[in-house]
Structure 1
Amino acid sequence: MKLKVGVFAGLLAVGICDHALAADTVVVEPGSTAYNWSGVYAGVMLGYGTGDSTAVSDGGFDGSAPEDRADLSPGGFAGAAVAGYNWQRGRLVYGLEGELGYLGAKDSFWEPEGEDYFGQTEYGLYGSLVGRVGFAVDRTLISAKAGLIVADIDYGYGDTDDGEPDPEGSIFESRAKAGFTVGASLEHAFTDNWVGRLDYSYSDFGSHDRTDEYDATYKVSDDIHMIRIGIAKKF
């Protein structure tokens, strides 16, 4: 599953670049800004991701979890390769961007305070495709973005038996989950070809239901925040 997510995101990034290279020249109004942001770019971003993963049950956890729910706060390394294309008209800059990355965010607990329930979640590879729009002030660009994201998320929730998951009273899944992502970036061109970036994004993967072998239903939901710094080369 992780390989499929990576291939999917990689094809998106390549498609963006192929389309950009075939695009017409974009007009920048004379005197509007000294730096031209239009063109193909590619780079890397590194930082940290943290979020919330929750399972709410109608009778799972063997009645041990308070209010029949488990709340996790996965966190960890976040890194990605990005590629995209900008168009510019006056101070308005807009474009498309593909991202392929890895999230090391994870969290778990087992038998908290002597109770017999558990929860665990772990992110992996992800890919996204977003549209961007921003405002340029010479070599500085402030932009917002929104689009789609697909991430590999492994999780497990349920009852324990002698310190191990009860196979009939638990749910486990490793799957690629799709969601929406929004965010903002502050970029500065230090040279004509090298651009630094401070980037924030929020991704929501929604919720879905899973049922254990005792017919207890769990509503599982996940979201993640990422803040990263990066560098890109403009071609």
Structure 2
Amino acid sequence: MTAGYNWQRGQIVFGVEGDVSYANIHGSALEVPFVPPCGNEGCTADVDWYGTGRVRVGYAFENFLPYLTGGFAVGKVKGTADLGACGFTPTCGYDETRWGWAAGAGLEWALNQQLSFKAEYMHVDLGTPEFNTPSSVPSTDNIDFDTVRVGINYHF
């Protein structure tokens, strides 16, 4: 789901957008040679949902609007590390809401005053998690991903 507001001054369009998306993103990492905490069996990361709050700026060519966008990102992430990083305890991992950033570009085409179609690429980076170990070993990998989205916007 996305909501936003745009202002147009001449051909320059400024806007703010917010969105929330269900995600079923799974990733894993294995560091070779061994680099804690993801050395022997590896680490996993899952993103359950994410959202962004962004500004955008574009240049209107009649009913086409190419634009750039960027701002903050937030998401629910969880993951595990191998036993070597966990001090040989089976509960090493993280389960948290992480904050980061998002940036991308897109193209919007207005069908009429009320409807537009949009295609957008965005890179989302939710940072580097810390595993819940006694020494709080940081991961060596960021939780980041790329998305391509298409949508229909209704303009009030």
- Aligned: 1:206 with 2:116: no
Runs of 4+ in structure 1 off by over 6 angstroms are: none
Q: What is the TM-score of this pair, normalised by structure 1?
A: 0.56
Q: TM-score, normalised by structure 2?
A: 0.82
The 1:146/1:208 distance shift into structure 2, 3 A limit, reads: same
Q: Work out whether residues 94 and 133 of structure 1, in 8 Å CA contact, stay in contact via their aligned partners in 2.
A: yes
Aligned to 2:19: 99
Deviation of the 1:204 alpha carbon: 1.4
- Closer, same or farther: CA 109–178 of 1 in aligned 2, 3 Å: closer
User: Which position in structure 1 is the counterpart of 2:139?
Assistant: 219
Bigger Rg, which one:
1
Aligned to 1:154: 78
Percent of pairs with identical residues: 25
Equivalent of 2:117 in 196, 208, 220: 196
Shift in alpha-carbon separation, 1:166–1:117, aligned structure 2, 3 A: farther
Residues 189, 202 of structure 1: alpha-carbon distance in 2 compared, 3 angstrom cutoff: same
For 1:218 and 1:158, the matched residues in 2 are separated by 13
Unaligned runs of 5+ in 2: 31-38
Q: Which structure carries more relative contact order (alpha carbon 8 Å, separation 6+)?
A: 1
Taking the TM superposition and a 5 Å limit, the aligned residue runs for 1:106-145 are: 106-108=26-28, 117-145=41-69
Preserved CA contact (<8 Å) 2:116 2:152: yes
- Structure 1: gaps of 5 or more residues: 1-80
Higher helix share: 1
